[in-house]
Each structure stands twice: as C-alpha cells, then as structure tokens.
C-alpha cells in the first residue's frame, strides 16, 4: 500500500522532529559541558572536564545535591506510601463521596505549578514551616503522590479480588494478608512509583524555589548560577540532573513494563 | 446418626434492599458430600461465603460443631475454600501457594515444605512444585488450588464451582479425583455448582436453591425421580412435565386431565383435590416408545422433532398434537430397532408408578 507507506514516512519524520525538539537542547547542553569555551558557540573549543571539576569542588553544589537527594528520597517514600494507601482504599472499599475523594487526590498535578508553589509558600509561612527541607518534602509529596497512586491503582485493578479473601480464608489476618499478598502483588508498581516520584521531585523547580529558603536543591542552584552570569558549570550540573532523572524514569518504566509483560503471559 | 457438623438456623442475607438468601434451614452431616445447586443468582455462592465467614448473615445463626460462627473472622475459621477463579497467588510458586495457609498458621519452615510437597505429590503435580503459577495448565492449577486447601487438613472443604473453567474432558477426570479424595479423607465437602451433572455425579445429597430459598434437599436419585415442585423439575431437566385438572382421586391413584390427554398418577404426600390444578413429571428415561398404539395405560401420540446423542444415550424430542413437548431418553442401540426419522408419528407410554406429582409452588 503506497499511501500507507507515505503516511508512515511522514509520521516517522514527525516523531523524529518531536524527539529532536525535546532532546536537542539537552544534548547540546551535554556537549557544551565538555567544551572549553566559556560561551556556548560553534565551532566548539577543546574537550575539557574543567566544568565538572569546578562543580565538584563547589561546596554549594554539593550541599544542593545532598538536599536534592534527601528531598527526593523522602518524597518518594512518603508519596508512594500515600499513593498506595489511597489506591488500596479505592480498591477495597466503597463509600459515599468516593468519586470526589479520588478527584481531590488526583487534583494537585492539574494545578499550575506556580500557583501551587505560591500557595504552598503562603501556607507554610502562615504556619511557620517555610524555608525548611521538610517544607520541600511536604510540598513534593502532595505534588507527586497522585503519580504513585495512579501506577499502584492500575496494578490493583489487575488483581483478582478473590486473592485477598483467599488469604483470609487460609488463615491470614488483615495485616498478614497485606504483608504477604497485597504488597508482594503490588511490588513492581510500588517500585515503579518510588522511582517515578523520586524523579519528579528531583527535577521539580518552581515549588522548590518558592518554599526552599536557604535549603537549595539542584534545580534551584542551576537558576542561581544562570541568573548571575553565563557559566558552563550549569551544563555540567544539568547533565548530572538529567542522567539521574532519566535513570529513575527508566527504572520506573522497567518495573512497569516487566509486570505488564508478566500479566500478559499469565 | 451423629450430630450435624454445620447447622444453618433461619439464616438470611440481605445486601441493602436486595435479599440474596431468604431463609435457610439445613444441616450438613459430618463426612458427606453435599452439593448446593441452582441457577446463577440463587444465593448458593452467598451461602458458601457465609460458611467461610466472608459474608455475615443478616439474620439467623450458622453453627459449626455446635459453636455459633456468626462473629468469627474468616481467618480464624478452619473452612478452606476452593475458588471458582482459583485465586492462586501469582507471585508465588506452586509449592509456596500450598504452603501459604501453613505459614499463616505459624507452622515452621521445614514442616511446611514437607507437607506441601506431600500434597503436591498426592495430587500428582510434584514435578511442578517450583514452577510459577502462570506456567501451569488449567488442570494443574486446579490441583494446586485443591492441595492449598487440603494441606490445612480441614474438617470441611468448601468448593465454589471449581471445575467451571476446565475443558469438558478434564471436568470428568477432576470429578473422579474429587470423589476419591472425599472418600479417602472422609472430610465433608460442600460443593456449589450450577451444573446438574457435576452435582448428581459426585454428591451424596443435593440442595437445590432458587431465588434465595431451598427448593429441595435430597439424594440425587430423589431429586431426579421425585422433584418437589415445578422449579426443581424444570431445573433438573430431562423430564416431561404435564399440567391439568384433577378428575378423580382414589386411594392410591388419581386421574388428571391435561390438554395432552387423561393420565393416571400415583398419589403421594401432595394433596390432590378433585377439580384443582395439578402437575406431574415423568423422567425422560422412564418413557417407552412404540409404533403401534399401546392397549390402555398412560399414552400419548407424538411426532418426532429431533434427536440428540450423548455417547451411547440418545434423547428424543417430540411434540403431541397440542404442541406440548415430550422428551424420551434411551440407549442408542434400543432406538436403532425402530428405524425412525423426523416427522414420524410414534406412541409414548409409561407406567403409572413412573409419574410423580409436583407441589404447586
């Protein structure tokens, strides 16, 4: 079929263009992070690791990296726990206002980040909790829990509802059943949720910038460097952040995909 | 007779306004194979789930060994269930599935393994012990599910349509496995099914349920030969139901006039009053056929519509002049003597004692 082939070629080009638009800036940023010239221009200068050496020697960057790590790990744990609890309550129970309850939980990602960030800042200031690391963790948990919940809810929907009753029937208490049946069944989704929420939190700028105060995370420090002057260090940090986020997202996908394949097999 | 193992005492179950079980009063004897049969939505699965503690009765009491079970949590009961969906744990191997109940009961690791393997061997699937559940066939999964329940060495085993997902030839095999197991272990089986052939093939006693109530309790033979009412007669199938008006009643027999003719029926506990409506059934395998009109007795002339072969048995579907359907079941080699084809007129007849009068309800 001729028309089909033409269409396929056009679609292929279209997809390639999208990928180019998304990834070209990142790739250029990576390339320039190894470029000896101070300004990002072509032709390129010599290959150098100077900028990496510089950021590794910068205590501010180290502190920001540590903050980012603490925030994203804590966020991942809290958000995935919350996500699991809401997904399970949806799976297990029927109650009045369940629809609005679920809608409310899924709401945060639909609010523009800048509004969310401002609201968080205003609220934290009001109750005297702003400018702390845990402020970022709380804000990020609210922001990312819906992602974890969505992934885990998908998994629970694949579960034979008799599985839980079967565990009770065989002498498992509610807690034992949670531990030996529900959690093992959801494990791939829980891991996927952990990596996904960690990645979102690690990247997130707006909310972090507003509520972080002096506890800057990596995205916040990147902005500060860019604001001051043009410095290829930004490219080096950006490369790190990108690699870490990508690793997390890929891991999340791997767990997501492996369980999909497994459930297709069975 | 020993004391009943399980007693359902005026048990009702409502889901909101919907009444799933109207009122159940029956006993389960120790060591019997009891089948609960009925069309879907008759409340049979709800009954089983109440016994397992997965649903709480709205009214009434369920007693197990004389102890009231209403408020006992499912995990504190010893009533393992074999699920229609099997409900095997997909993230565990066959052996780990079988060990699950023992693990929950705190049996130590070595004993768990030993008992699980023993049961897998008994079920003939020892070689699959360390296989993932998803790699097993339907019949193998079935055996894992049985082993998982039986390894608990329960007094009573509940089965909820466990064979409904299997191929026909496997169903017959598993029926034999189940009856053998039940005889050998001597434990009580409560088997829920919508399949008459499964219930009648395996059970010592059958409960027929319809619309949340018990329609009849009895041995398969009782239910087949003497269905209590029209619902049971129709559900059991393979029989002829005739309805009409009572013409006369004598000591042992009564005459009933139906559109298909006037017939003599034996009286039973059902009260027949002259002029009232009455229905009776004749099992399809108790009807004889002949080319020539029989002398006297119960007879009806019919036209052959179709034949249905199941192995060496054949069921004839016929119609009389009024369009009433008759069924006759006989051996194929018996039928071949008649050399019949569709549209042929033949005579049906049956002994008076073959008829059974139904309760009007």
Does residue A265 register a pLDDT over 50? Answer: no
Contact A265 B80 (CB under 8 A): no
Residues of A whose CB is below 8 A from B80:
169-170
Residues paired with B324 in a beta bridge: none
Contact A262 B134 (CB under 8 A): yes
**From the CA of A176, how many Å to the nearest CA of chain B?**
7
Torsion, Cα of A124, A130, A132, A136 (10° steps): 50
**From the CA of B80, how many Å to the nearest CA of chain A?**
6
Does residue B77 register a pLDDT over 80? Answer: yes
- Percent pLDDT > 70 in chain B is 99
**From the CA of B106, how many Å to the nearest CA of chain A?**
10
Please state the φ and ψ torsions of residue B88, each to the nearest 5 degrees: -75, 150
Least confident of A35-44, B201-210, B319-328, B336-345: A35-44
Average pLDDT over residues A124-132: 86
Whether B315 contacts B307, CB under 8 Å: yes
What are A's interface residues with B at a Cβ cutoff of 8 A?
160, 162-163, 165-174, 176-177, 180-181, 184-185, 187, 262, 265-266
- Percent pLDDT > 90 in chain A is 41
Give the integer Cα–Cα distance in Å for B162 and B270: 37
Contact B80 A181 (CB under 8 A): no
pLDDT tens digits, residue range B33-46?
999 999 888 999 99
- Structure confidence at residue B182 as a pLDDT band (50, 70, 90): very high
Query: Residue A95 burial (CB < 10 Å; 0-12/13-18/19+)?
Result: exposed
In terms of pTM, does the model score above 0.90?
A: no
Torsion, Cα of A170, A173, A178, A182 (10° steps): 20
**From the CA of A172, how many Å to the nearest CA of chain B?**
5
Taking CA atoms, B258 is separated from B100, B238, B264, B280, B294, in Å, by 60, 20, 11, 10, 19
- Structure confidence at residue A261 as a pLDDT band (50, 70, 90): low
Residues of B whose CB is below 8 A from A181:
89
Which residue in the set A166, A172, A173 is minimally distant from B87, CB to CB?
A: A166
Whether B304 contacts B316, CB under 8 Å: yes
Considering only alpha carbons, which residue of chain A is nearest residue B52?
A169
Considering only alpha carbons, which residue of chain A is nearest residue B138?
A266
Residues of B whose CB is below 8 A from A160:
85, 87
Whether B95 contacts B117, CB under 8 Å: yes
Average pLDDT over residues B194-215: 91
pLDDT tens digits, residue range B2-31?
678 999 999 999 998 899 999 999 999 999
What is the layout of strands, in order, in the sheet containing B6-15? Answer: B18-28, B6-15, B59-64, B67-68
- Percent pLDDT > 90 in chain B is 57
Provide the pLDDT for residue B40: 86
């Amino acid at each position: 079929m001729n028309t089909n082939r033409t269409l396929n070629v056009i679609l292929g080009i279209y997809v390639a263009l999208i990928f180019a638009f998304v990834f070209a800036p990142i790739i250029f940023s990576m390339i320039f992070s190894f470029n000896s010239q101070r300004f990002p221009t072509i032709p390129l200068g010599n290959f150098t690791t100077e900028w990496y050496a510089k950021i590794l020697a910068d205590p501010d960057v180290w502190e920001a990296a540590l903050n980012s790590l603490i925030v994203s790990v804590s966020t991942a744990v809290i958000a995935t726990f919350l996500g699991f609890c809401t997904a399970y309550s949806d799976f297990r129970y029927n109650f009045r206002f369940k629809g609005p309850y679920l809608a409310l939980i899924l709401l945060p990602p639909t609010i523009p980040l800048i509004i969310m960030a401002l609201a968080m800042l205003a609220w934290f200031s009001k109750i005297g909790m702003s400018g702390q690391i845990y402020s970022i963790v709380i804000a990020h948990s609210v922001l990312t829990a819906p992602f974890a919940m969505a992934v885990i809810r998908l998994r629970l929907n694949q579960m034979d509802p008799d599985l839980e009753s079967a565990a009770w029937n065989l002498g498992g208490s509610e807690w034992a059943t949670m531990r030996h049946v529900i959690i093992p069944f959801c494990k791939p989704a829980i891991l996927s949720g952990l990596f996904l929420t960690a990645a979102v939190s690690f990247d997130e700028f707006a909310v972090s910038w507003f509520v972080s105060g002096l506890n800057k995370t990596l995205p916040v420090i990147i902005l500060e460097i860019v604001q001051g002057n043009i410095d290829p260090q930004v490219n080096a940090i950006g490369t790190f952040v990108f690699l870490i986020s990508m690793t997390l997202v890929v891991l999340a996908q791997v767990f997501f995909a492996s369980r999909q394949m497994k459930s297709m097999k069975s | 007779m020993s004391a009943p193992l399980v007693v359902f005492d005026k048990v009702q179950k409502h889901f909101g306004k919907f009444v799933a079980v109207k009122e159940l009063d029956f006993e389960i004897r120790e060591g019997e194979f009891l089948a609960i049969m009925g069309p879907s939505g008759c409340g049979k699965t709800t009954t089983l789930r109440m016994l397992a503690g997965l649903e709480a009765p709205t009214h009434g009491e369920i007693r197990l060994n004389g102890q009231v079970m209403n408020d006992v949590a499912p995990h504190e009961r010893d009533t393992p269930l074999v699920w229609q969906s099997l409900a095997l744990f997909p993230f565990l191997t066959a052996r780990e599935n079988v060990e699950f109940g023992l693990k929950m009961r705190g049996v130590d690791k070595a004993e768990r393994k030993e008992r699980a393997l023993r049961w897998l061997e008994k079920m003939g699937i020892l070689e699959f012990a360390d296989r993932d559940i998803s790699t097993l066939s339907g019949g193998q999964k079935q055996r894992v599910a049985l082993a998982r329940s039986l390894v608990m060495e329960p007094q009573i085993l509940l089965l909820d349509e466990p064979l409904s997902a299997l191929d026909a030839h496997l169903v017959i095999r598993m029926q034999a496995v189940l009856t053998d197991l039940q005889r050998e272990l001597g434990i009580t089986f409560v088997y829920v099914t919508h399949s008459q052939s499964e219930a009648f093939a395996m059970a010592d006693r059958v409960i027929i349920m319809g619309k949340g109530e018990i329609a009849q309790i009895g041995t398969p033979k009782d239910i087949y030969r003497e269905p209590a009412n029209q619902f049971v007669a129709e559900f059991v199938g393979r029989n002829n139901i005739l309805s009409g008006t009572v013409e006369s009643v004598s000591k042992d027999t009564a005459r009933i006039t139906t559109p298909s003719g006037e017939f003599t029926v034996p009286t039973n506990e059902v009260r027949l009053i002259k002029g009232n409506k009455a229905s009776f059934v004749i099992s399809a395998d108790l009807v004889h056929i002949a080319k020539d009109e029989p002398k006297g007795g119960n007879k009806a002339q019919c036209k052959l519509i179709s034949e249905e072969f199941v192995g060496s048995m054949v069921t004839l579907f016929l119609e009389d002049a009024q369009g009433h359907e008759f069924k006759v079941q006989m051996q194929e080699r018996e039928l071949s003597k008649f050399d019949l084809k569709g549209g042929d007129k033949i005579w049906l007849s049956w002994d008076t004692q073959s008829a059974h009068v139904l309760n009007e309800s």
